[in-house]
Amino acid sequence: MDKKGRVFSGARPTGRQHLGNYLGAIRNYVALQEDYHCVYCVVDLHALTTLQDTEKLREWTYEMALDWLAAGMDPDKGTILFVQSHVPQVTELHTIFSMLTPLGWLERLPTFKEKVRQQPENVNYGLIGYPVLMAADIALYKADTVPVGVDQAAHLEITREIVRRFNFHFGEVLVEPQAKHTEFPKVLGTDGEQKMSKSLDNHIEIAATPEEITQRVMQMVTDPARRFRSDPGHPEVCNVFALHGYFSPNEVEQIERECRAAEIGCVQCKRLFAQNLAAYFAPLRERRAALSARPDDVWDVLAEGARRAEVIAEAVITEVKDAVGLPLRR
């Protein structure tokens, strides 16, 4: 089979993955493997820009990689799965890129301003350089396609500008990547208000047991205007209904009709959702259990990924240094 080009994407190590991670990223990562050469990276160095204590970093890397593998991100399909800090060439490219990046581009980024608001006591040098490191991630593998959420659009634009600048000054060495935005809308948490996130504890883990799933789903906030069982519901504003669309494809029309007619109550609707969710992820849970019986295997997969990534990275960084005019070592 002829694959199209190279995909690169990265995610910070956040441990066990939730529905937001799955619908927004993981399922696309899995699907893209059919058409592209894929490179997927656990960006542990990026995590250091916001992490106060690093003691969870290894565990969260392991747990995330476990979910990724269980979900079907698969080195046997040619996918390279690795940990960012295992391929240190990225920090060299980051340094070179940092000299090409006007500070103004970084200072005016909404994502940077937001972080400054969130952690005013820790506005470190790495934080402002976050998008430069991301540009180095992508360019080091000459990836042409980057699947990211719309929240990363501005970062990807910076990558493109850095690459253009590099190529303008030093010759057409690097590849200007295209964003491939995922079409799933923002996944809300169980509160029905904020984006699903582990730090807000409003998440549902994809590898949760059926009991845990039920417990979380029953806490989900539904249509706020529907106060009594006899009130007609408004599926278009209900977070549970939005997710039914994905996990209950065969029942979603009936649910919509019955909700509007007050024929089905929220409790019943959520029970059904919990059941479908547990069934949908049953194969993933099984694969995860099998993989976690041999924890070393996951680290071996990541080590093999790093070895393959480094072959590409070493060739590109050599080409970059040569183009820049740095004296090459002999």
Q: Cβ distance 205 to 15 under 8 Å?
A: no
Q: Which is nearer to ligand TRP, 137 or 256 (CB)?
A: 137
Q: Nearer Cβ to ligand TRP, position 10 or 233?
A: 10
Binding-site member from 26, 42, 83, 138 for ligand TRP (CB under 6 A): 138
Q: What is the residue whose two structure tokens read 């581009």?
A: 105
CB of 176 to ligand TRP, least distance (A): 14
Closest residue by Cα to residue 160 from 183, 134, 181, 128: 134
Among residues 10, 24, 189, 233, which is the contact residue for ligand TRP, using CB under 6 A? 10
Residues 19-78 that bind ligand TRP (CB under 6 A): 43, 46
CB of 136 to ligand TRP, least distance (A): 9
Binding-site member from 61, 79, 85, 152 for ligand TRP (CB under 6 A): 152
Q: Which residues contact 17 (CB under 8 A, 6 or more apart)?
A: 26, 64, 67, 68, 71, 205, 206, 207
148 binds ligand TRP (CB under 6 A): yes
Cα dist from 150 to 111, 143, 321, whole Å: 12, 18, 32
- Checking 166-173 for CB contacts under 8 A at 24+ apart, the result is 166/97, 166/100, 166/139, 166/320, 169/100, 170/320, 170/323, 170/324, 170/325, 171/323, 173/319, 173/320, 173/323
26 or 134, CB closer to ligand TRP? Answer: 134
- Closest approach, Cβ 147 to ligand TRP, in A, equals 8
DSSP string, 122-159: G--HHHHTHHHHHHHHHHHTT-SEEEE-GGGHHHHHHH
Q: Which stretch binds ligand TRP (CB under 6 A): 10-18, 204-212, 282-290, 314-322?
A: 10-18
Nearer to ligand TRP, 33 or 276 (CB): 33
Structure tokens at 84: 């960012």
Question: Binding string to ligand TRP for residues 236 to 275, with x set by CB under 6 A, is what?
Answer: ----------------------------------------
Q: Which residues bind ligand TRP (CB under 6 A)?
A: 8-12, 43, 46, 134, 137-138, 146, 148, 152, 155
